Structure 1
Amino acid sequence: MFNKVNDGIGQLIDSIRKDQSSNGAWTYPFETGISTDCYMIILLRSLEINDEKLIQQLVERILSRQEDNGAWKLFYDEGEGNISATVEAYYSLLYSGYIKKQDPKMKRAKSFIIKNGGLKDIHMLTKLLLALTGQHRWPPYNPLPVELILLPHSCPIHFYRFSVFGRANLTPIMILADKKYSLTTKMSPDLSDLSSKRNEDELDFRNSQEWRSFYSTIKQAINQLIGLPSHLHQLAIEKAKHYMLQRIEPDGTFLGYFSTTFLMIFALLSLGHSKNHPIIINAVNGLKGMKTVIDGHVHMQYTTADVWNTSLLGYALQEAGVPSNDSMIKKANHYLLQRQHLKYGDWAVQNPAGVPGGWGFADMNTIQPDVDDTTASLRSMARMVKKVPVYRQSWDRGLQWLLTMQNDNGGWPAFEKNTDSKLFSLLPIEKAEYILTDPSSADLTGRTLEYLGNYTNLLNNYSSVQSAIQWLYRNQEDDGSWYGRWGICYIYGTWAAVTGLRAVGVLTTHSSIKRAVTWLETIQNSDGGWGESCNSDRNQKYVPLKTSTLTHTAWAVDALISANDKSNNSIKKGIDFLLINLNQADWTTTYPKGQGMAGDFYIHYHSYRYIFPLLALAHYKKKYKQKS
């Protein structure tokens, strides 16, 4: 068995070594379906940037993802298709000018859209896209008054109580809704035939009465606090514009995200910027810079994942025995060292005691660090800390920033602390819990505990550690699993929680660990692997994929290894599955393992097929070889 494990580890290391970039990073794609491809076509046509080669390449990719019934899906087992994704694809293909309504593929797509309610039940952000480009009416009221940005921090609802991702997307939306901005061109298609009641359709944020009530509440608060003289409306517009411009990354994008940059461009147009304004051109070029190629097709990434890929791979390789002085590891850690954040960002508003020292997710991320990338980067650099002084300095800053980011409830968020107001969960905005809040999560809390337990000298009775342990105990599901906020989904959260709890001394005999182990063993497939459907996050309960994947299996096996002093049948069968399927190349390999918005935004990390099987095999060998 261990000879095969060694062979598998060697195979993975060789593949990873070949894929490293010259700057030390790994640039595996961050793949998110077709939405960004669709939006890029619509953006280029709206700005009358005739980059025909890119538009044709994106058209080819979108068409390559169409199902036989005419629809597009977000993941393999999503039923017949996704209505919002299909509308976006249909619209962008028509806007490209290269596909006509009479094309059989378009007829099938239209048939699917009409069959599923036309434009009535598409996602809020898809309706926003249509309103921006003349296919949908704006509502007569603003979904959020732009004056919200002026409310002081003493108010129960203020701008910085939203998550940073929520603020970044809402800021341009507030401007656009205020202006009721719409842009059409001579190439704009006509989507009126997709709805029989187009004249009655509005950009309805789930429930207009509830929105009007919330809008009225915010307006009253603004009136009471600042009197709302007429000039303050323009002040709010200027402050919103300033917020965006102050957070433009070196590549021209707004915080490095596709959606925020797309919306910022339209917001600036609504404020009078010309289509060829340097800020807009730089933003478009920044989006183009996130272009990648997958299976011969060009894909517009939502962001890049270079820091995330590199930190996880650097850590996994060293766990598998690659020494820290290997050129591959040295280059990776040097890259990470250069990407540490040394200036304050929005996180400091809710965390004034913190000093910069975290890491962000993307290559060009200089403003927005996050907890997960910070612990991952610190793990990769851990073996360098005692050897090179500059790594010790970096380590200390990262650890101190991390500790100050813990939420008051004991868990860790992703980007900002204490931005999980229950008020926002009541708002009638679609997926508000994903867009507007940044709660403590089992995956972030578990991974942070794993780092603190295995890589620092903090005692297990340290207050931060104990409060995090208690948070995990309180948030374990009845079946013994944990929900993972940023992965798919319960297997991911359970892996993070179990490995974290074990790292800080929670015994294998503890009821929380035993329940988690029982759950994992119960859901193991007959082939020895594990697999979980993206439907889990939609349904808020575990839904099996009914087939096994490399990544889910690696997570489950790694959790079981951490929770068992001796190998058992479940672990051995899981390891066998990994070894047999290391070269697996089917739909299970490309099935999303990450998510950003349940039901609407899923991520296929191309690096995961290497990272997590390597970790599981390495930990199996390290723990059990001497006991065999």
Structure 2
Amino acid sequence: MADTLQREHAGVIPGSRAAVSAAVDHLLERQDARGWWSGELETNVTMTSEHVLLLAFLGLPHDDIRDGAIRHLLGCQREDGSWGLYHDAPADLSTTIEAYVALRVLGLDGARPELSQARRAILEQGGVAHARVFTKIWLALFGAYPWEGVPSMPPELVWLPPRVPLNLYDFACWARGTIAPLLIVISRRPCRPLPFSLAELVLPGTEWRLRRVEASGPFAWADHLQKQYERLRIHPGRSAARRRLVKWIRARQEADGSWGGIQPPWVYSLIALHLEGMPLDHEVMRRGLTGLDRFAVEDDGGWRLQACMSPVWDTALAILALRRAGMPAHATPLRRAVEWLVDEQIVGGGDWQVRCAPGTEGGGWAFEFDNDIYPDVDDTAVVVLALLEAEQTDEVRNAVARAQRWVAAMRSSDGAWAAFDRDNVRQVVYSLPFADFGAMLDPPSEDVTAHAIEMFSALGVRPDAPLLAPAIAYLRGAQAPEGSWFGRWGVNHVYGTWCVVSALAPLHIDDRAVSCALAWTERVQNHDGGWGETCASYRDPSFAGVGSSTASQTAWAMLTLQAGGVGDGVAASSGARHLIDRQSAGTWEEPEHTGTGFPGDFYINYHLYRHVFPLMALARYASTDA
């Protein structure tokens, strides 16, 4: 074994170049004719379940998706009858409730063994009384949960200016876009009963909890007072507040009919607008409903809805991978991808302007095909890194210059970067009884800050410059004692450590921090040569770097070692062998969720991650083979 590892250290693993070549071919075969890539963005069954419930609430047929949706939902059910948030996750009560109700709406008899098992799993976890707020809202829409048990949020919040706590802009953009329509929905308290009862989901003895809002302190009293106010016959100014919300919502519909390019604000905006009298054949409603079709996927696994689509992110990563693999910048696939990305740059305004200096111009990129209101720093930084690998035309240089100015303007007061907004850190939002559905804020994070530093460094900004010095200090202070960094948008410490080492190592300003990170990376390597980390690490830090080996996480760890200057060592060579041995038909299998939406609550399996990151890592590894 020692002799083998010594040879691997010399960079002579057979098959590394062949694996790279096969991966390049696989990637090129999946490029769209217009230049972009977009892999499936797999989450959990709530996306499909809630789509079924949306159709039911709006009175729309589901015949065309019925069989496929049933196949998908039942195919994701576990042996204990439950559904989870990610691959091999523990049972999740709310996810299981929503899947159960959707299957009933799709026509399955409650006596079927699959539903009997699901019902048992729901009751074992306490029944609907213990569900999350979003699930309670869905049940309340159909009269299966009392609105009294749903936290109140007055529509009048729309009038609060940005300087006043609990205004809409205190919430992260994804929460903001969801809460705005829910202010209408919750105040309207609609009820459109289903043709069957869901009383079987209430655990006997918990009936009293259904009308109780879980809260304490001042916000419990505020919710109580709000509910007393709701009982009054007259609510001065409420109609004006709702009209203002309708105007706010309509102004944020994207060209593809979506809101924010993501499912939650989309479905609730459709419901809210319909409750405010907008018919289904209205242009806004029609575009919104039709746009959802683009997010649907159907294959042998059934019909399912993606929470989002990631073409900008995927295309930037694909460019970086192909360049690592040696593809010339002028090659046609890269030229088409670059042209598409440049056209996708967002130069207009959006909600991000609320906390930026007056007159700040746009210049970022969004994650999705259409999300012009919400460009983000993470995508923009990685797109710029990809464009710097391209032919430097005037169009590319101008796009990069605009992005550089925009990212600089988006830096938060602590010197670091968040994804979508500056200084979105007002913690009071988490005191709301409503705040149980995941991240409600978008504070600076290690991985986004690292990508911004990496971008500015590539553009020639010195690490001691006023723009970067505070950000670098932020990263130094955020390093875990064990040597890793937290990953906000990827699972988890393996991802965060890769991002930060990729930013800091080339600067040669903090070799001790990087050395600690490299040591941690080598220490958590699995016996099979790969790396893995379960989503459980967001709930329990002892799982940092612990999990079955995955293709994407193995690649991140290899890229970390490569950035740190030990990419031809024993650990990286073992990682390369792991990837080479597990490549199949030019790519890799990866059922695990290695992307993060909301830490602890919502996870993503990016289907392109399993391919593009191993290609990056192996391409760099193979380049060391003399």
Structure 2 counterpart SS, 1:245: helix
Match of 2:158 in 1: 149
Deviation at 1:208? 6.2
Deviation at 1:262? 0.9
The aligned amino acid for 1:124 is: V
8 Å contact 2:75–2:301 — kept in the other structure?
no
2:116 pairs with one of 107, 116, 122: 107
Match of 1:224 in 2: none
Match of 2:468 in 1: 465
Match of 2:33 in 1: 22
Aligned length: 607
2:42 pairs with one of 31, 42, 45: 31
Match of 2:443 in 1: 439
Q: Deviations over 1:381-422 (max 9, x none)?
A: 213363x11111111111111111111112110101100113
8 Å contact 1:513–1:563 — kept in the other structure?
yes
Q: Distance in 1 between matches of 2:52 and 2:324?
A: 43
8 Å contact 1:292–1:300 — kept in the other structure?
yes
| Residues 217 and 424 (structure 1), Cα distance of their counterparts in 2 relative to 1, 3 Å cut | farther
Structure 1 runs not aligned, ≥5 long:
220-228
8 Å contact 2:559–2:567 — kept in the other structure?
no
| Residues 586 and 102 (structure 1), Cα distance of their counterparts in 2 relative to 1, 3 Å cut | farther
Structure 2 counterpart SS, 1:560: helix
8 Å contact 2:484–2:517 — kept in the other structure?
yes
Structure 1 counterpart SS, 2:603: strand
| Residues 437 and 540 (structure 1), Cα distance of their counterparts in 2 relative to 1, 3 Å cut | farther
8 Å contact 1:312–1:380 — kept in the other structure?
yes
Structure 1 counterpart SS, 2:237: helix
Q: Distance in 2 between matches of 1:147 and 1:588?
A: 49
Match of 2:170 in 1: 161
| Residues 105 and 505 (structure 1), Cα distance of their counterparts in 2 relative to 1, 3 Å cut | same
Residues 30-429 of structure 1 aligned to structure 2 (within 5 Å): 30-79=41-90, 81-97=91-107, 99-139=108-148, 143-184=152-193, 187-195=194-202, 196=204, 199-202=207-210, 206-207=214-215, 211-214=219-222, 231-353=236-358, 354-384=360-390, 386=392, 388-429=393-434
8 Å contact 1:74–1:602 — kept in the other structure?
yes
1:501 pairs with one of 498, 501, 504: 504
Identity of aligned residues (%): 28
User: Does residue 477 in structure 1 map to residue 468 in structure 2?
Assistant: no
Q: Distance in 1 between matches of 2:591 and 2:172?
A: 29
8 Å contact 2:252–2:259 — kept in the other structure?
yes
| Residues 14 and 4 (structure 1), Cα distance of their counterparts in 2 relative to 1, 3 Å cut | same
Q: Distance in 2 between matches of 1:610 and 1:504?
A: 28
User: Does residue 5 in structure 1 map to residue 45 in structure 2?
Assistant: no
| Residues 383 and 231 (structure 1), Cα distance of their counterparts in 2 relative to 1, 3 Å cut | same
Match of 1:567 in 2: 568
The aligned amino acid for 1:46 is: F
Structure 2 counterpart SS, 1:464: coil
Q: Distance in 2 between matches of 1:407 and 1:26?
A: 31
The aligned amino acid for 2:440 is: L
8 Å contact 1:494–1:559 — kept in the other structure?
yes
8 Å contact 1:337–1:394 — kept in the other structure?
yes
8 Å contact 2:25–2:586 — kept in the other structure?
no
Q: TM-score, normalised by structure 1?
A: 0.91
The aligned amino acid for 1:576 is: R
8 Å contact 1:339–1:366 — kept in the other structure?
no
Structure 2 counterpart SS, 1:292: strand
Q: Deviations over 1:535-593 (max 9, x none)?
A: 11122453455421111111111111111257321121112112112229999702101
Deviation at 1:431? 4.2
Structure 2 counterpart SS, 1:383: coil
The aligned amino acid for 2:92 is: N
8 Å contact 2:256–2:291 — kept in the other structure?
yes
8 Å contact 1:532–1:545 — kept in the other structure?
yes
The aligned amino acid for 2:529 is: G
| Residues 127 and 581 (structure 1), Cα distance of their counterparts in 2 relative to 1, 3 Å cut | same
The aligned amino acid for 1:190 is: S
Deviation at 1:270? 2.3
Deviation at 1:239? 1.6
8 Å contact 1:443–1:484 — kept in the other structure?
yes
8 Å contact 2:449–2:471 — kept in the other structure?
yes
| Residues 586 and 599 (structure 1), Cα distance of their counterparts in 2 relative to 1, 3 Å cut | farther
| Structure 1 vs Structure 2 CA RMSD | 2.4
Q: Distance in 1 between matches of 2:150 and 2:30?
A: 51
Q: Deviations over 1:458-509 (max 9, x none)?
A: 12221121111100011111211111111111111111111111133335xx
Q: TM-score, normalised by structure 2?
A: 0.92
Q: Distance in 1 between matches of 2:165 and 2:78?
A: 47
8 Å contact 1:370–1:414 — kept in the other structure?
yes
The aligned amino acid for 2:404 is: L
The aligned amino acid for 2:101 is: Y
Match of 1:223 in 2: none
Q: Distance in 1 between matches of 2:307 and 2:419?
A: 18
Q: Distance in 2 between matches of 1:205 and 1:614?
A: 50
Structure 1 counterpart SS, 2:298: strand
| Residues 218 and 475 (structure 1), Cα distance of their counterparts in 2 relative to 1, 3 Å cut | farther
Q: Which has the higher contact order (CA 8 A, sep 6+)?
A: 2
| Residues 66 and 156 (structure 1), Cα distance of their counterparts in 2 relative to 1, 3 Å cut | closer
Structure 2 counterpart SS, 1:298: strand
